[in-house]
Every structure is written in C-alpha cells, then in structure tokens.
Amino acid sequence: MAFKIFRKNCCGLDVHKTWIYACIGITDINNRTEYKQARFSSFSKGLQELSDWLAKYSCTEVCMESAGKYWIPVFNILEKTCWVTLAHPKYTKPQKGNKTDRKDAKWICDLFMCDMIKPSFIPPPDIRHLRDLLRFRMKLTYQITGMKNRALNCLTVSNLKLDDVFSDVFGKSSRSIIHQILENPGEAFDVAPFVDKRCKHPIEEIQAAVDGAVSHEQATKLKICLDFIDEQEKRISELDTEIFRLAEPYTSVLEFMRTVPGFSKEPLTAIRLLSEIGADMSVFPTSKNLVSWAGCCPRNDSSAQKVKSTRISRAGSYPLMVCFKPIGIIHKIIHDFIIRNHLSKFVT
C-alpha cells in the first residue's frame, strides 16, 4: 500500500551531538523517489556545508527531531534559507531492530514526505530569546529557594525560631537579627532595635525565639547560604533589566494582556506568557488547540471503548503552566482576547 506523497523535495535530519545525518528525498513526476544522503559535522562550518548541500538540490523543506539542545544550532542556521519542521521524537520513532543513523534520517524523510509528522510550535527569534532568559530566571529562583531551605535548616538546628515570629525569615528585620547573631556568636543582645514597628509579634516572643546557640560549623554554612542568596538576587535583578529591554517592542501587547484579571499585579506574568505563546495567535486555530498545546487538558488514549490513560502531559512544565493553572479558564479568555483584537498588529 503506497502513501500519498505531499512533498516532492524534502529532507530528513538525524541530529546528534557531533554528527548530523541528512537524507533528501526527490520524487519525479512518475512518483519514483531518489534519495541523496550525506553526513555533516555539527560545527559551524559543517552546518554551513549542510545549508549549501540543501541549496544544491533546491531543497527548502527540512524536518528533524527535537533532540535535547542539539537541534537549536541547526535550526538557527537553516531557518534563514529553509522551512524547518521540528518534530517530537514520538512522531518519528523508527522500527526496532533495523535502526542506524542513516536509516533514521531516511525514515524521517519518508514520514515528512508523506505529511505524517506534526510540527512543533517554534516562535520567532526575539520571542525565543525572551523565553530563554525567563526560563533561566526560573532556574535561578529555584536555586534561591533551595538555598533558603538550607538556611532555615541551619536556624532550626541551632534552635533559632525566627520562622515562628516572622512571616518572612529573609526580610529586613529577620536578616538584621541573623547578621547580629553571626557577628557576635554566643552573645545576648536586645532585639528591639532590629525589629520593624509593623511587626505583629511582641518583642518578648522575638527575644525568646533567638535564645539559641549557633555552632561554628552552622554559622559558616549559614553565611555561605546568605551570601549565595544575595548574589543570586543580584543576578536576577540584572536579568530583569535585560528581560524588560527585550520586551519593549511588545509594550502594547503586554498592556493589553494585563487587562486580563490576575495579570496586572506582577509585571513579569504577562511577559512570561508572551515568551511562551508569542504574539501571533494564528498558529493556534482555536482556544482548544492552545490549551492542548499547553498541556492543560487530558490526552485522548482509548481503545475498544476502554480509556487507557488521561494523564496530562508535561508540555506546560515551564512558566506557561504557571500562568494557566491558577486562573482556570484564563486560557480561553486570553485566546479570545488575542484573536478578537489581533494582538500581532500591535507589535512594533
């Protein structure tokens, strides 16, 4: 049984860390396909040779798997001259027992030729740069959270109950008390000068909470934790400056998105959502497509009238899921707002 050929001249790429295996399928008017195969280095010179090789055979449609981060340099080079389709590996999985790198490239080419691969959504370069910085910012935030937990462990081991009398142990008042303890270990002191007047707990309770003993080892560990937190917060501040600079061309879009309930309090919320879905909503035909892409709805997996799984995918494990989940129906509101008002026309 023959499959219908939709693309007469296309290429499949099997991307690895060091090498890239390419296979071009050229179909003539009699539906006879001739394959051209080659191997290229993943260095910049090799990627340029790959681009020239594709141009030699007038191939402008390319498909490859999203293999880790190795596909990104290939995509950056080829998107200038080709229409590149990035596919999830589950759509290009080859047959077991008959698998080599060259056969994988040919298999991807055949699937792409017959239009049997679903393309992944890839935003334009400026949105990708914004997304990369925001995801990096999230990683730094996770590191700060982990280090704060270790600092709290030091206080707990030393029987300093600051987390019982302060809502934020790393706030101004609590940090002042911690620095006083670290600078003068084992010495009793009055906490009143270090406590803000707006603190709800009485001074007597705070004084009793710091009646502990910090060992030299715990003090060293606590100092390192606090220094790490301060340094990372400084890096995040520098990162925010660059993020807001990259988001300037989308000021009108962001202002409109912040009219949605829940998006006006934190300036980065709208930027985070923009970095994930972009400003062009034409890539999502309906709000249901957007919700499915974000991993906010169960998947379809049934056979013989039996549902095998309704597990929600991890597609939205990055900030997009953070934006969607707490607000519930906000995904439909955002999509309807964007489609109705054509947000992409506001981009300068």
Place of tokens 């309090």: 265
Angstrom distance (rounded) from CA 266 to CA 207: 35
Q: Which range has the worst mean pLDDT, 99-103, 270-274, 295-299?
A: 295-299
Return the pLDDT at 196: 84
Please say if the pLDDT value at position 18 is more than 50: yes
Q: Average of pLDDT values for 272-283?
A: 86
Residue 261 tokens, joined = 């309930």
Per-residue DSSP letter, 258: T
Return the pLDDT at 304: 76
Q: Which residues pair with 119 in a beta bridge?
A: 87
Whole-number percent of the chain with pLDDT over 70: 89
Q: What sign for the dihedral angle of Cα 292, 74, 319, 276?
A: negative
* Contact criterion met (CB below 8 Å) for 23 and 106: yes
Angstrom distance (rounded) from CA 20 to CA 141: 35
Q: Average of pLDDT values for 162-191?
A: 87
Please say if the pLDDT value at position 109 is more than 60: yes
Q: How confident is the model at residue 259 (pLDDT cuts 50, 70, 90)?
A: confident
Q: Is 223 exposed, middle or buried (0-12, 13-18, 19+ CB in 10 A)?
A: middle
Please say if the pLDDT value at position 344 is more than 50: no
Angstrom distance (rounded) from CA 282 to CA 269: 22
Residue 268 tokens, joined = 């980065």
Phi, psi of 70 (to 5 degrees): -70, -20
Q: Helix crossing, 125-157 with 267-277: angle to 10°?
A: 130
What is the reported pTM? 0.81
Return the pLDDT at 222: 92
**What class has domain 9-113?**
alpha beta
- In the chain, alpha helices (H): 44-56, 71-78, 101-113, 125-157, 162-165, 172-183, 203-209, 216-246, 251-257, 267-277, 287-293, 319-324, 330-341
Give which of 155, 172, 152, 169 is closest to 211, Cα–Cα. Answer: 155
Q: Which range has the worst mean pLDDT, 69-78, 92-101, 225-234, 286-295?
A: 286-295
Contacts of 165 (CB under 8 A, 6+ apart): 201, 205, 206, 209
Domain(s) of CATH 3.30.420.40: residues in the chain: 9-113
Return the pLDDT at 345: 45
Residue 186 tokens, joined = 């084992």
Q: Average of pLDDT values for 209-219?
A: 86
Give 49-76 pLDDT, tens digit per residue. Answer: 999 999 999 999 999 998 788 999 999 9
Return the pLDDT at 326: 40
Residues 11-26, buried b or exposed e (16+ Cβ, 10 A)? bbbbbeeeebbbbbbb
Angstrom distance (rounded) from CA 233 to CA 36: 52
Per-residue DSSP letter, 296: -
Give 291-332 pLDDT, tens digit per residue. Answer: 777 777 777 777 777 877 777 666 656 645 555 544 344 555
Give 194-210 pLDDT, tens digit per residue. Answer: 888 888 888 888 888 88
Place of tokens 């892409």: 293
Return the pLDDT at 338: 52
Domain(s) of CATH 1.10.287: residues in the chain: 127-246
Return the pLDDT at 325: 45
Angstrom distance (rounded) from CA 57 to CA 45: 19
Residue 176 tokens, joined = 């002042």
Return the pLDDT at 56: 94
Place of tokens 């080599």: 100
In the CATH scheme, what is the code of domain 127-246? 1.10.287
